[in-house]
Structure 1
Amino acid sequence: MTATADAEAAANELTPLADYLGSVLRRLRALPPLDLDLTQAHGNVLAEDVVAPHAFPAFDQAAVDGYAARWEDISGGGRGPSYVPAPSGTPGGRTIRLNVVGDLGAASWRPVRLTPGSCFSVAAGAPLPVAADVVVPVEWTDQGMAAVEIFRTPKRGYGVRRAGEELPAGTLLARAGTYVSPALVAVFAATGIGHVVVRPSPRVVIVATGDELVDVGRGSQPGQVVDANSHALTAAAAEVGALAYRVGICDDDPEGLRGLLEDQTLRADLIITTGGTGTGPGDMVRRILSRREGGRAGPVTFTDVALYPGTALGFGTVGAEEVPVVCLPGDPGAALIGFEVLARPAIQLLAGAEPVFRPSVRAHLLETVSSPAGLREFRPAHVAERRGGGYTVQPLSGGPFTLSGLAEANGLLVLGERVTTAAAGSTVDVLLMDRRR
C-alpha cells in the first residue's frame, strides 16, 4: 500500500467528529434553573420566557426638554395663541406666544390639564399634561418662563412618548435560552421585573497533568514544559461565560489524580483535563481514567476522533455526583482546538445557551491549502467581509499547531474529512471566533 492509502485506511478507523460530538452532547443536560435577582442575572441564560408585566413607558411622557402644548395652538388652528413678529431671520415671519402655566419634572406626579393658549415647561421624562400632544424643543423657543415665544412648529406628536408605545404589557421580552445582556437587564427593569429564572453559569475546573509540567514565569528546559494549557483553557472557559477555576498541575500519579478529581467534583459542573489522552508510555490520564474495575468500564471513554489537530479525546463522568469530565490533548494548539469543538459546546449546553456552536460562514479562500486525508481540520485563519457582501478567509502561517496563529486568528477554517486540497478561489466553511459569547 502507498503512504496515502495507509493514511486513509488509518483515518477510516477513526470516529467521525460529528458522530462523536452528538454522542457526547446527548449525555449532557442543562443545569437546574435558579431564580436570581436582576442584578445577578447578567451573563446567565434565561430558563423561561419573560413577559412584560407592565407597559413601557408606563405613562405618557415628554421625550425631550421643552414645552408641552396642544398642537392646534402652535399650528394656528386654535383660539388661544398670540402671534407676534418673529426675530430677524426667522422663517415664516412670525412666532407664536403661549402662556407658561407651570413646570413639570420627572418627579412630578399630580395630574394637570392644558387649557387653550397655555403650555407647561417640561423636562425629558416628565409626565405629560392632559390634552398635550406635542413637546416643542427648548432650542426652538426663546426659553421664556412666564410666556414663551415659539419660532419653529414641530409636527403633531413630536417629543411625546405614549404609555406602552415601545413595550405594551404582555409583550414577550425574551425567550428561554436568551443570554441576559446589560440592555436586556434594562428592559426587564423598565417593565417592572426584579427577578428572572436563569440557568446558572457552569462551574468549570481545569487541571493540567504531566510530570514534565512547570508553572509559568520561567522558560522551558529539557525535561520541562511550561504549563500554558491550564491558563489558556481557564481563560477560554471564562470567555464562554463559565465560572472557571484553575487548580494547577497534577503529576502523573494515579492516586493523586483520582483524589484530585474526586475533590473537585464538590465544586464543579464540568472538569477539563489536558494532557495524557494518547497511548504513549507517559499518557497516564488515559490509563487511569479508562481502567476497568470490577468488570466495569472506566468512568471515562477515550476515543480516537477524525480531528486535526488532536485526535485523542476523552469524555465521561467522575465521582458519586457523576460530574462530566472532558479530557483534551496536551499539545497547546490541539488543546485549544479540542476546547473549541468539544468543551465549549458542552459548557454552552450546561448553561442552557442556544446555539451551542459558534456561528459559521461560507468564505472565499485566498490561498491554496492541503489537509490530512480522513481528518476534519480546524486551521487558524483571518476572516474579512468583502465589499458587496460575502467573506474572504486567509489561512495563517504555521498550520493548526501554532499558538501565534491561534492568537492572531478571528476564525477557524474548517476542511472536511474528504478534503486533501482546497484551491484558492474555492468556497470553504469558517467558524467565527469573535471573542464574544
Structure 2
Amino acid sequence: MIKAVIIILVTLFLIILFPNATFAFSGSGTGTPNDPFQITTINQLDEIRNNLSASYILMNDLDFAGSDLVWEPIGSEENPFFGQFNGNNQTIQNLQITPQINSFSGLFGYVNRSGEISNLNLAHATASGYGGIGVLAGLNEGLIQNCSATDINIGGHSDEIGGLVGINNGTILDSFATGTILSGREKVGGLAGRNGGFIDRSYASVTIEHSKYYAGGLVGLNYQGKIQNCYALGSVSAESGVGGLVGYNYEGLIDACYATGNVFTETDCAGGLIGQNHGFVKYSYALNERVDVGSQYFSDKNVDKKTIGRIIGWNEDYFNAGSVYECSYWDKIATNAKFRKNLDSELVRTVTSEDIWGTFGKSNWNGFNNGWILKNFSDNMLPIFDWQSESPGDVSYLDPENSNSGSSQSIPGFEFISSVLMFAGVVLLFGKGK
C-alpha cells in the first residue's frame, strides 16, 4: 500500500515538474534537433503544446478549411514554447486564431529566448484576441527566420497587434507579412505591433485602418529596439502617432529603411517614415504619395499641422543631438500640412535624377558593399536593398506634377565620395520639434 502511494506521489510530482514530457508524439521522429518530430496532420501540429521543448518539422502543407478545431495558441507566459519548429517551406492555410483565454494570440502564443521558428508560411489566417496578437506569434523572445504571413486579416480592439508578431523582444530575420489589420487600439504594425528586439531584412505590405495611437507600416512602437534593412508598403491610418514605417520610435535605432505607403492622421504626429521620434534614425527615406490630415477615414478636425512631416511628424528633443541624419524624402507628397523649412542648409544634399542613372552609372551602385543596388537599370528603377527582387517605384515618382509642395525634384539623399554615388541621405522637412 505504501509503495503504491509513493508511486502515485512520484508520478504526480513528475507531471507537475515536467508537464511537457508526459505525452508521446503520434508521428515519426524522436524530437531531437537531429531527428525532429515529423508533423503531417493538424492534430499532430496541435500536439506541439504537449512538449514545448522538442524539435519539430512540418512535412507537408496543412489546410484548416473545414476543420472544427478551435485553435489555442501554443505556449503561454507560464509555459512558453522553447523548442525548434522548422516549417520546411510548407504553408499552413486558413488558420483561425480565437483564443478562449486572456493570453498572447497566434499560431504560437509565447516563444521564449530558446525558441526558434523558421521556414514557415501562414496564408489566409485570421486572428483576434486580448493583447499581443500576431498570426505567427503573440510574443517572441526567440528567433523567427524566413517566415511569412500572407493575405492575413486581423481585427479587434486590442493593443500590440502585428501582422506576423504582436510583440517582438527577440530576433526577426528575412520575414514578411501582407494583408489587413482593422480596428487595432495602440501599437499596431504591419509586421510587429511592438518591437524591443532586432528586425532585419524584413518587410510588410499591410493596410492598417482605424487604429488609435502608434501605428506604423512595419512596427507600431519601436521601444529600444533596432530595425535595419527593412521597408513597408502599406497605407496606415490612426488618430495620432502614425508613420509609414514606425508609429513611435522611442530610444530605438532605425537604420537603412524606407516606406512607401500613404499616411493618414486624425489629429497629429504623422510622418512619411516615423510619426513620433524620440530615438535614432539614419540612412532612410520616405516615398509616400500622401502624408495627410483628414481623409476618407477621418474628418478634418482639431489638427495640429505643425506635427506633420515628410520624414518625421514630431521629433522629440533629439534633433539637436543629431539623432536623425542622412535621411530623405521624395518631393511628391500631397498634404495639407505646413512644414518647417529652416534647417541647416549644409544638411541638405540633392542630386538630379540624371545623376542616378547617367553620370555615375549602375556599376558604381552595385560595386560596393553598402546594401543598396540598382536593378532593371535600363528602366530607370529606383535603388533597392541588395536582397530585394523588385524596386519600389520608377522615375515617375520624381514627376513634380505629383506634388503640390514644390516643383524641384528631390531624390533620395546621396553624397559624392571619390566621384562615386553612394546612398547617404539628407535631412529634410520635419514637423514640430519640442
Question: Which range, TM-score by smaller chain?
Answer: under 0.3
Tell me which structure has the larger Cα radius of gyration: 1
Normalized per residue, the structure richer in strand is 2
